[in-house]
Structure 1
Amino acid sequence: MKITDLLNQLNEQLNFIDLEIDDTIIKCEKAIEIILKSLENLKKHVQKRQFKSQDEEIHFFKDLKPQFVSKLIYYNKIYKIETKKPHGGQRVVKKYYKLELHKLKLFFDNELEFYRYFRTGNNYLDYKYFVRGKFDIKFSLDSFYFESDTNFVTAHSFKVSKIMAHDLLQVFLEDKLLEMKNNIQTGKSQVNPKIKQIWTASKVSLVELLYALHSEGVFNNGASDLKDIASYLEYMFDINLGQYHRAFLEIRMRKGDRTKFITSLKENLIKRMDNTDDS
């Protein structure tokens, strides 16, 4: 439960940063700082206790720890990609992002055997891959393993983290390329409101509302895709919702009231109705 709490706390903090900070480089800097602190707490927790069984140790290094480390790899890689991004037209930047995607493909090709093992849910080699001190040089270990604290790393726990991080990186790069492809100025409405409405609540609240509206099917008789509704809300409020899919996952994992914003809307509307009745 302690590790789960640490992970939930980390996810909430990263989700807040992802939604509230638009500058990618600053976002990555803040995220890396938070993840390093979280990993430090995780390491202290592991040092204080002993695993009750080999299965528990495997579960930690195969399933739990990579969820922390993968985030560090992910944000660090994005930071490097964005700080090294060439200055130039869309053609130059597009070529740059495609090259980064190609590097990911090379990684997956080089790790194909282990990638298949991990993705297909195999476990017959877990006792070598995810138990401390049980390394085999024949399994093409990363140099990182030999430089690490052997009490907090196994032969392949870092590889799992890289696979998880690279899956996210692939989505990030593909989104960047799609964004460039769709970067066409849309015509403004012929009837423009005199006062622009700016969303001043949190982005998390707007994501909660976005999913509620989509679930209710209020646009185009329920035929509108979630992505289309998100784009519309971003255009209307001149706001960037970022990776709203991940934000929704964090909303789902909330303890207590998972629909805080919608609950607040309901309570305040009822209060207004009651006040109107009294007057």
Structure 2
Amino acid sequence: MDNPATPTTRLVMEFVTELYQQLERELNEIDLQTNDIIERSKSSFEACEKAIAKLKEHMATYTFDNMAEEIYFFKELKPKFYSKLIYHVRLFELESQKPVGITKSQKKYFNRHLSEIMRYNQDHQNICKYYRSGAVYMDELYFRRTKLNLLIGFDLSYFNCNESFCSCHDHTVATLLANEKIADYLNSELLKLKNHQRVVAPIGIEDTGISWAESKASFIELMYGLQTLGVFYNTKTKTKADMSQVARFFEMALGVDLGNYYRTFQEIRIRKKGRTIFIDKLREHLIQRMDQADENPRYN
């Protein structure tokens, strides 16, 4: 039986956990700052790189206290970091190579990448089923830095990794986790295309090419303000529209994915730079425009 974790062990694992939580906070902040997926994925990739560099540096001279700790690191901790990195690299590639303006081509593009994820899962179905089921009986072979065994398989990325920092399948788990998020993104994009056709095509509205230029957080701040003021009315229930109805309306009308807007609102509530940054900015600029119109009636 493995010995209990020493105080040093606990401190190291606490450092890794805190480092990951810090990365998540930084990624959330980046998500609030811009609505441009390409810019967001670039900034997020850089944040992930820095966190992983710190992780490697911290673990370079560390000796695991016991087998259970080693397995826990390679099965649970390390894959979380790398799944974030893989996700943002893939997201950048998907967005930067996405066909422009043709719904049929975009559908084909997103479905092709969904098929690639399905093939990857099929090719790695044993480890996929093992990990998702919460099984532990192969942990010693899958998630320890032992000699490679062709009978149990391994991820080819192992050959590009420092042996002291890799197990047979920690990268496979990271890829599976990243693929889950990429699949969510692809399905969300397909749903937006479907909803856009439903809203636009029947009433013949031409695509103007206009899109929201501020951050997603700014839009959600404005949306919550409008809903709170009660400016939206549900004609079916004869009542003020609730937030889920308002959010759904904007997602369909504008072809945007607001994601977990409730979580974003909670982050807006506690941000240090102020709660209503966008609404304050909106008010300031509108007053400036009115002042300019007062001075020059031709200005509008």
Q: What CA deviation, in whole Å up to 9, does each residue of 1:244-271 have, x standing for no partner?
A: 27x83996xx9xxx9637xx98xxxxxx
Compared CA separation, residues 226 and 103, structure 1 to 2 (3 A): farther
Compared CA separation, residues 227 and 160, structure 1 to 2 (3 A): farther
> What's 2:20 paired with?
7
Match of 1:159 among 172, 177, 184: 172
> What is the percent sequence identity of the aligned residues?
27
Distance 1:158 1:175 in 2: 26
Match of 2:129 among 116, 119, 122: 116
Contact 2:79 2:171 in 1 (8 A): yes
Q: What CA deviation, in whole Å up to 9, does each residue of 1:61-105 have, x standing for no partner?
A: 101111110011111111111222223510111111111111111
- Which 5+ residue runs of structure 2 have no aligned equivalent? 1-13, 203-213, 229-233, 276-300
> What's 1:230 paired with?
247
Match of 2:263 among 234, 248, 262: 248
Q: Aligned residue pairs: how many? A: 242
Q: How far 1:146 moved relative to its partner?
A: 1.4
Root mean square deviation, CA, Å: 3.9
Q: Does 2:84 align with 1:71? A: yes
Q: What CA deviation, in whole Å up to 9, does each residue of 1:201-252 have, x standing for no partner?
A: 9559849x79xx9xxxxx9799x8875343357799x89674327x83996x
Q: How far 1:48 moved relative to its partner?
A: 3.7
Distance 1:21 1:200 in 2: 4
Distance 1:226 1:113 in 2: 42
Compared CA separation, residues 90 and 27, structure 1 to 2 (3 A): same
Indicate the larger mover: 104-113 or 177-186.
177-186
- Which 5+ residue runs of structure 1 have no aligned equivalent? 188-198, 214-218, 266-279
Could you say what secondary structure the match of 1:136 adopts? coil
Q: How far 1:50 moved relative to its partner?
A: 2.0
Compared CA separation, residues 38 and 89, structure 1 to 2 (3 A): same
Q: What CA deviation, in whole Å up to 9, does each residue of 1:165-188 have, x standing for no partner?
A: 00001100000000111112499x
Contact 1:22 1:240 in 2 (8 A): no
Q: What CA deviation, in whole Å up to 9, does each residue of 1:10-33 have, x standing for no partner?
A: 111111222321111111111111
Could you say what secondary structure the match of 2:163 adopts? coil
Distance 2:70 2:243 in 1: 40
Distance 1:29 1:35 in 2: 10
Could you say what secondary structure the match of 1:137 adopts? coil
Q: Which amino acid aligns with 2:149?
A: D
Counterpart mapping for 1:125-164 below 5 A: 125-164=138-177
Q: Which amino acid aligns with 2:161?
A: S
Q: Does 2:44 align with 1:31? A: yes
Compared CA separation, residues 231 and 108, structure 1 to 2 (3 A): same
Compared CA separation, residues 9 and 242, structure 1 to 2 (3 A): farther
> What's 1:192 paired with?
none
Distance 1:201 1:80 in 2: 21
Q: How far 1:2 moved relative to its partner?
A: 1.0
Contact 1:130 1:157 in 2 (8 A): yes
Q: Which amino acid aligns with 2:43?
A: K
Q: TM-score, normalised by structure 2?
A: 0.68
